Chain A
Amino acid sequence: MILDKRKISRTQFMFSVACFIQSSSLLTSFFTSITKQDSWIAVILGSIVSIPTLLIYSYIMKKFPDKNLIEINDMVFGPIIGKIFSIIYIWFFMTLSAINTKDLGEFVQKTILDNTPSIIIVGALLLLCSWTVRNGIEIVTRYSLLFTFIATTIVISTVFLTINQMEMDNFLPILQQPKMAYVRATHIISAIPFGELVVILMLNPNLDIEPKKRIKYLLYGFLIGGFTLLLVVFRDIAVLSKTIEIFLLPSYETLRLISVYSTLSRVEALFAISLIILMFFKISVLYYISVMGIAYLFKMKSYKPLVLSIGVIIIIYSFIVYPSIIAHMKSGSETAPFGWLVVESILPLITAIVAKIRKLPEQKKGMSS
């Protein structure tokens, strides 16, 4: 049973992964407030720590090349425990959608439209996403290359535009934060931008790539995304110096400082553009995955009737997910990563181990033949 027959090509997959990471890379304050000028170390550590998780994903993808996470759960754990696992995942996907929707809504409201009701801002975007989701995810992954290109170009060009304001002294002193700070920041990075890649397990059946090569494109995409994140953090520290720890949107503030002979200035709109585009991508993917998850959970014939209702649920959920920005920040840098860790790393690990023990794909083959 495949509900969406559109296929994602290898380039699309690679850049979708990159795009997915980049979309989080623009909101870096979760960890820059912890490790301050050493955040770039945290990014590198976080990337390294994430690689085992990615290997687990790719193992699952290799073993079950044309099944998505919900089906895999059913196969590996049986219908009852599998359903429980699936529900946890769906809850996670919905929460992620809601959080990202809220992030974008808050960003837009804070920087551009401070009097517009957030239901309009979020509603406009979610309506657009629902249109995309209805037509299948390939509609938007097709643009992943374009989006990555836009975002990377903006990041790289702003690095050049701020080069006269950068001071390498700002990275000093190195490694003087308390040790727990690094652990926490690494954890956050591996959980928030990188660990969210667990969503690719839901796109698994749509991939038009040989199962063995999926890991390659996953890692390429991961590297592009990770590199952008590193560049962003590097630029922000070099320009903002100490103040990076107090800003909620360090990248936005960095871009506001750009001024090349007072003609090329006030380019923070670029940040807003790339953030909106990337967030649109991310929310579309998460939204699609939530819809697909529920459709597969209830073994529906078509996912389309679900689209609008799930969209409404995401909007409502996004209003109540965190009471305030303080709670959001606190959760983002303290509680959420642990919860995410369970869903993003431990559950897939259990899945992989159980599948290995039960030798599942082979068994299934034997049954079917």
Chain B
Amino acid sequence: MSKKIKSFNFILIIFIALFLTGCWDNEELDTISIVTGVGIDAADTEGNIKLSLQVGKINQEKSTPQSAGGSDDSIILEIEEKSILTGTNELERQVTRALFMFHNQVIIFGKEQAKKEIKPYIETFIRQNDMRMETLVFISEGEAKDILDIKMEQDKISSFGITKMIEGIQRYDETYSIRVLDLVCMIMDEGTTPVLPILKIEGSDKSRLLLKGLAILDNEKYIGELNETETRGYTWIRGKFKNTFIEVDTEDGLAILNMSNIRYKLKPQIKGEDLIMDLEILGDVVFSEVQGFHNMTIEETTKIILEGAKEKINEEIEASLSKSKKLKTDFLGFGTEYHKRFPKVWEDVKEHWENIFPEISLITNIELNLIDTGKIRNSLDMKEGK
């Protein structure tokens, strides 16, 4: 009995000793610096990148209730290195605190770097455990570092500002929120060219950011970008609008419609030798603003406006499609649709998809359903309806 107890005590003592001697992963909060954004820019030397990290600054002063809840400043760390990890390792030797990547909010590639390549750097963000898949990815119009460096008016740390901005936009339009996961999916999908939103600095004191459209990355290299109309077209085809405003500018007047409850159906079809995409868009519209339409009844106006709206949507879609055909790259994801619905056919065509793709005709069918005219029925300029 006592022998057993002795051996038990022995193990217990060893265990306690092991326990109390080391706190291997214990990192106090004042020994880490929280990285909130990563920027990757092209460097002059071949094969190198300019890595900039945005680090949230912790207030040294005693926190008062006003300042608690978010620091008001950030630091930019910059280095030129071969890869992201060598860069962070190098930076860690320069700063007083360990770099903590878990809270990274955004990854921004400079346009110049995007023209070279982004794929090897994306790899780091999915392999490392301290990188999260929900981090947003962008391409910057100028240098990524500048975007990280700006102080936005309300959110002094720009990466928080960007996340909040995307969260706001996401309620009605999902095009611009591309997470690492989405990017990786797009890269892995057969027959889809990845796109990334473009950020641009705006404002007189350079304190605002603008989402300026989408960059197209064929083979993970920047080859062109979509302007605003083309981006809208892309959004229509990919079915990412939750609700949106449509500006209808006709000869008679101007109307702004709010479209909501939008349902999409993108259906690939094969008719003989031809590949046809069928796009159906159904939605409810509400008049938000109506200008002009002098001496017209509400019925006439409605007809004109709805026709105009359809035309407008079609225009946007066409713009995007023609861009796609011009660049000979399938960022609209038609290939993926064929891969999913017609895997057998896809096996045959995937080798020369970039040649087949421009042949595809897109048939759109838009149906808009007016459900409300807002608080008033007629516009101030309109004729009294009977």
B19: chain A residues at CB < 8 Å are 120
Within 8 A of A (CB), among B313-341: 339-341
Give A172 to B346 CA distance when docked, in angstroms. 13
Contact with A along B1-38 (1 / 0, CB 8 A): 00000010001000100110010110000000000000
* Residues on A with beta carbons closer than 8 Å to the beta carbon of B340: 169, 172-173
- Contact A243 to B188, CB < 8 A, known contacts A127-B15, A257-B133: yes
Say yes or no: is B181 at the interface (Cβ < 8 Å to chain A): yes
Q: Report the minimal beta-carbon distance from B101 to chain A, rounded to whole angstroms.
A: 13
The reply to whether B188 and A242 form a contact with Cβ atoms under 8 Å apart is yes
B179 / chain A contacts, CB cutoff of 8 Å: 257
Do residues B24 and A116 form an inter-chain contact, with CB atoms below 8 A? yes
Evaluate contact between A241 and B185: CB separation under 8 angstroms: yes
Residue contact A127 to B185, C-beta cutoff 8 Å:
no
- On whether the beta carbons of B18 and A123 are closer than 8 Å, the reply is yes
Q: Is there a chain A Cβ closer than 8 Å to B167's Cβ?
A: yes
Specify which of B25, B132, B133, B167 is in contact with A114 (CB 8 Å cutoff): B25
For the complex formed, measure the closest distance between the CB of A137 and the CB atoms of chain B, giving whole angstroms: 20
B184 lies within 8 A of chain A by Cβ? yes
Quick one: given A110-B129, A253-B133, are A173 and B181 in contact (CB under 8 Å)? no
Choose among B22, B181, B343 the residue with the greatest number of A CB atoms under 10 Å from its CB: B181
A111 touches which one: B126, B129, B167, B184 (CB < 8 A)? B129
The A227-266 residues at the B interface (CB cut-off 8 A) are 240-243, 246, 253, 256-257, 259, 262, 265
Asked if A363 is an interface residue, CB under 8 A from chain B, the answer is: no
Q: Which of A115, A169, A243, A308 has the most CB of B within 10 A?
A: A243
CB of A243 within 8 A of CB of B185, answer yes
Collect the chain A residues with CB atoms within 8 Å of residue B189's CB.
242
| Interface residue from A110, A115, A124, A127 paired with B24 (Cβ < 8 Å) | A115
| A112 adjacent to B25 (CB under 8 Å) | yes
B384 proximal to A (CB < 8 A): no
Interchain CB contact (< 8 A) of B18 among A111, A120, A176: A120
CA distance A172 to B343 in the complex (A): 9
Chain B residues numbered 86-136 whose CB sits less than 8 Å from any CB in chain A: 126, 129, 132-134
Cβ < 8 Å to B, chain A residues 113-127: 113-117, 120, 123-124, 127
- Taking the nearest CB of chain B, how far is it from the CB of A191, in angstroms? 28
Residues in A whose Cβ lies below 8 Å from that of B11: 127, 308
Q: A114-B25, A173-B341 are in contact. Are A243 and B7 (CB under 8 A)?
A: no
Closest residue on chain B to residue A110 by CB atoms: B129
Alpha-carbon distance A314/B340, docked complex (angstroms): 46
Contacts of A262 in B (CB 8 A): 167
Residue on A nearest B127 in the bound complex, by CB = A246
Pick from A114, A173, A265: contact of B343, CB under 8 Å: A173
In the complex formed, the residue of B with least CB distance to A241 is B185
**Per-residue 0/1 for B162-180: is the Cβ within 8 Å of any A Cβ (1 yes, 0 no)?**
0000010000000000010
Q: A169-B340, A257-B133 are in contact. Are A240 and B181 (CB under 8 A)?
A: yes
Question: Which residue on chain A has the smallest CB distance to residue B339?
Answer: A173
Query: Which residues of chain B are within 8 angstroms of A112 by Cβ–Cβ distance?
Result: 25
**Which B residues touch A176, using CB under 8 A?**
343
Q: Hey, which chain B residues are within 8 Å of A123, CB to CB?
A: 15, 18
- Against B, the Cβ 8 Å flags (1 = close, 0 = not) of A61-84 are 000000000000000000000000
Q: How far is the CA of A308 from the CA of B14 in the complex (A)?
A: 14
Beta-carbon contact of A172 and B185 below 8 Å: no
Question: Given the known A-B contacts A113-B25, A120-B18, A308-B11, are A256 and B132 also in contact in the complex, defined by CB atoms under 8 Å?
Answer: yes
- Determine the distance from Cα of A111 to Cα of B129 in the docked complex, in whole angstroms: 7
**Complex-state Cα separation, A240 to B341, whole angstroms:** 19
Residue of A111, A113, A241 with most partner-chain B CB within 10 A: A241
The residue on B at minimum CB distance from A174 is: B343
Tell me the minimal C-beta distance from A154 to chain B in angstroms.
Answer: 19
Near B by CB (< 8 A), chain A positions 259-281 give: 259, 262, 265
Please give, as numbers and ranges, the residues of chain A lying within 8 Å of B15 by CB-CB distance.
Answer: 123-124, 127
Q: Give the docked Cα–Cα distance between A256 and B130 (Å).
A: 11
Within the complex, which residue of A110, A116, A240, A265 is in contact with B25, where a contact is CB–CB below 8 Å? A116
Q: Which residues of B contact A127 (CB under 8 A)?
A: 11, 15
In contact, B133 and A256 (Cβ under 8 angstroms): yes
A116 to B15, CA, bound (A): 14
Cα distance, A223 to B350, chains bound together (Å): 41
| Residues of chain B within 8 A of A256, CB atoms compared | 132-134
Please, which residue of chain A has its CB at the minimum distance from the CB of B346?
A: A173
Name the one of B24, B126, B132 contacting A113, with C-beta atoms under 8 angstroms: B24
Min CB–CB distance B188 → chain A (angstroms):
4
Q: Mark B137-150, 1 if CB is under 8 A from A, else 0.
A: 00000000000000
Interfacial chain A residues near B126, Cβ < 8 Å: 243, 246
A172–B338 Cα distance when bound, in Å, is: 10
Contacts of B22 in A (CB 8 A): 116, 120
Interface flags, A155-185, vs B, CB<8A=1, else 0: 0000000000000010011001000000000
Cβ contacts A to B, 29 pairs, < 8 Å: A112-B25, A113-B24, A114-B25, A114-B129, A115-B24, A117-B24, A120-B18, A120-B22, A120-B24, A123-B15, A127-B11, A169-B340, A173-B339, A173-B341, A176-B343, A241-B185, A242-B184, A242-B185, A242-B189, A243-B184, A243-B185, A246-B126, A253-B133, A256-B132, A257-B133, A257-B179, A259-B134, A308-B7, A308-B11
Apart from the given pairs A120-B24, A176-B343, 5 other A-B contacts in the complex at a CB distance below 8 Å = A115-B25, A116-B22, A242-B184, A256-B133, A257-B181
Give the interface of B toward A (CB within 8 A): 7, 11, 15, 18-19, 22, 24-25, 126, 129, 132-134, 167, 179, 181, 184-185, 188-189, 339-341, 343
Q: Which residues of A contact B (CB under 8 A)?
A: 110-117, 120, 123-124, 127, 169, 172-173, 176, 240-243, 246, 253, 256-257, 259, 262, 265, 308
In the complex, the 5 A-B pairs of residues with the closest C-beta atoms, listed nearest first: A172-B340, A173-B343, A116-B24, A115-B24, A242-B188
